[in-house]
């Protein structure tokens, strides 16, 4: 009998769910609904439960290992809580995991969304050949996931890998986390947009607009991506110097701007990391796109089972 996991990716705008079997086959195209974030906790949890139930019914003939849910924000792994989520504040400090588990009657594993994406890339994406990697997701914010020996590195509470909050510029712009000059204040879509505003590139420009300006030869726009690249380079050099992993991956909505930020990123990494200059360390684009989080989330229960049956 085929064994499969259900992965859920709860984003600020979309709620997606998919059934994926032990060999990494997506069993059907993912369910995709708008996240009803205005509807509050009950609406969002109700939508998660409904999506999972639909997949449970659809694949009744197969064995369900469990459900993994990737959520934005800091999580407390043992308690199954989300402690800080900008998009979904009403899910904070509520026993999300236990509540969903009770409604579904199926084991649930809660995970940070970037951690889930990192695990997905390790399982079926750009990191298939390695056991250790770091993934940085460059979107509205910057997320991070660290995979050690094929598993998510959690730290004491489940909050390890919050790489968007690495300090890059001690005097940089304030961040919602309480720090100044966090990576995500320089290398996210939001950061690109506010840099464009500060450099008088135009009002209400989206990061995509800034990208098109850069591609069209606008020097100021290109400089913004160089600044983003330098910030990423500092962060990645620190990560290489810390971990000496073979692979560092970048993913997310800012990836199309690779050609504009990668040169300054690689230059910075090279300058700041002896290990990088003297090894085959790879810095590459992730492969699974926005499916990575779903793959990782679905893999969580499958991987968990394998660990326990050892």
Among 27, 130, 157, 175, binds Zn ion (CB under 5 A): 175
State the nearest-atom distance from the C-beta of 159 to Zn ion, in Å: 13
DSSP secondary structure, 257-276, as one string: GHHHHHHHHHHHHHHH-HHH
Tokens standing for 272? 């700041």
Q: What angle do CA 107, 113, 115 make, to 5 degrees?
A: 90
In eight-state DSSP terms, residue 116 is H
- 47 catalytic residue (yes or no): no
When asked if residue 26 is in the footprint of Zn ion (CB under 5 A), the reply is: no
Q: Closer CB to Zn ion, residue 16 or residue 165? A: 165
Cβ-Cβ contacts under 8 Å for 238 (sequence gap 6 or more): 166, 272
Closest CA to 236 of 83, 120, 133: 133
Nearest approach, Cβ of residue 309 and Zn ion (Å): 39
- The runs of H, that is alpha helices, within 20-140 are 40-58, 96-104, 113-124
Among the listed residues 151, 65, 46, 159, the one whose alpha carbon sits nearest the alpha carbon of residue 108:
65
Nearer to Zn ion, 22 or 165 (CB): 165
Residue 138 as a binder of Zn ion (CB under 5 A): the answer is: no
Whole-number minimum distance, CB 128 to Zn ion, in Å? 31
Q: Please give the Cα distance from 97 to 78 (Å, whole number).
A: 10
Among the listed ranges 21-29, 53-61, 83-91, 169-177, the one in contact with Zn ion (CB under 5 A) is 169-177
83 touches Zn ion by CB under 5 A = no
As measured in angstroms, the least distance from the Cβ of 179 to Zn ion is 4
Tokens of 202: 């135009």
Q: How many chain residues bind Zn ion (CB under 5 A)?
A: 5
Structure tokens belonging to residue 240 = 């290489």
Binding segment for Zn ion among 38-46, 64-72, 164-172, 221-229 (CB under 5 A)? 164-172
**Which among 180-188, 250-258, 291-299, 302-310 is the span making contact with Zn ion, rule CB under 5 A?**
180-188
Round to whole Å and give the CA distance between 261 and 213.
Answer: 14
Q: Among 179, 180, 194, 275, indicate the residue that binds Zn ion (CB under 5 A).
A: 179
Chosen residue from 16, 22, 165, 230 binding Zn ion by CB under 5 A? 165
- Is residue 177 within the footprint of Zn ion (CB under 5 A)? yes
Q: What is the DSSP letter of 16?
A: E
Q: Which of 9, 21, 47, 113 is catalytic?
A: 113
Binding Zn ion (rule: CB under 5 A), the pick from 8, 108, 182, 300 is 182
| 269 to 308: interface string for Zn ion, x by CB under 5 A | ----------------------------------------
- Sequence-separated (6 or more) residues with CB below 8 Å from residue 94: 41, 81, 82
Stretch that binds Zn ion, among 4-12, 84-92, 94-102, 163-171 (CB under 5 A): 163-171
* Residues in a beta bridge with 145: 135
* d(C-alpha 154, C-alpha 297), whole Å: 15
| Active site positions, annotated | 113
The site for Zn ion (CB under 5 A) is made up of: 165, 175, 177, 179, 182
């Amino acid at each position: 009998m085929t064994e499969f996991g259900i992965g859920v990716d709860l984003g600020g705008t979309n709620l997606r769910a998919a059934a994926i079997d032990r060999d990494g086959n997506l069993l059907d195209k993912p369910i995709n609904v708008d996240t009803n974030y205005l509807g509050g906790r009950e609406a969002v949890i109700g939508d998660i439960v409904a999506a999972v139930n639909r997949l449970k019914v659809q694949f009744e003939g197969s064995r369900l290992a469990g459900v993994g849910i990737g959520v934005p924000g800091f999580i407390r792994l043992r308690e199954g809580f989300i402690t800080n989520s900008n998009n979904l504040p009403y899910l904070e400090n509520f026993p999300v995991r236990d509540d969903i588990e009770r409604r579904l009657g199926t084991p649930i594993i809660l995970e940070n969304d970037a951690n889930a994406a990192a695990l997905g890339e390790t399982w079926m994406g750009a990191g298939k050949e390695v056991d250790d990697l770091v993934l940085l997701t460059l979107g509205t914010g910057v997320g991070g996931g660290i995979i050690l020996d094929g598993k998510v590195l959690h730290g004491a509470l489940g909050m390890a890998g919050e790489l968007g909050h690495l300090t890059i510029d001690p005097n940089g712009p304030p961040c919602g986390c309480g720090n100044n000059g966090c990576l995500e204040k320089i290398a996210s879509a939001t950061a690109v947009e506010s840099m464009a505003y500060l450099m008088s590139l135009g009002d209400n420009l989206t990061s995509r607009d800034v990208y098109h300006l850069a591609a069209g030869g606008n020097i100021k726009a290109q400089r913004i991506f160089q600044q983003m690249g330098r910030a990423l380079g500092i962060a990645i050099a620190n990560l290489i110097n810390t971990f000496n992993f073979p692979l560092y991956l970048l993913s997310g909505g800012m990836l199309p701007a690779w050609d504009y930020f990668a040169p300054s990123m690689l230059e910075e990494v090279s300058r700041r990391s002896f290990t990088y200059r003297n090894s085959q360390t790879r810095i590459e684009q992730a492969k699974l796109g926005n499916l990575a989080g779903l793959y990782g989330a679905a893999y969580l229960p499958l991987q968990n089972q394998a660990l326990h049956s050892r």
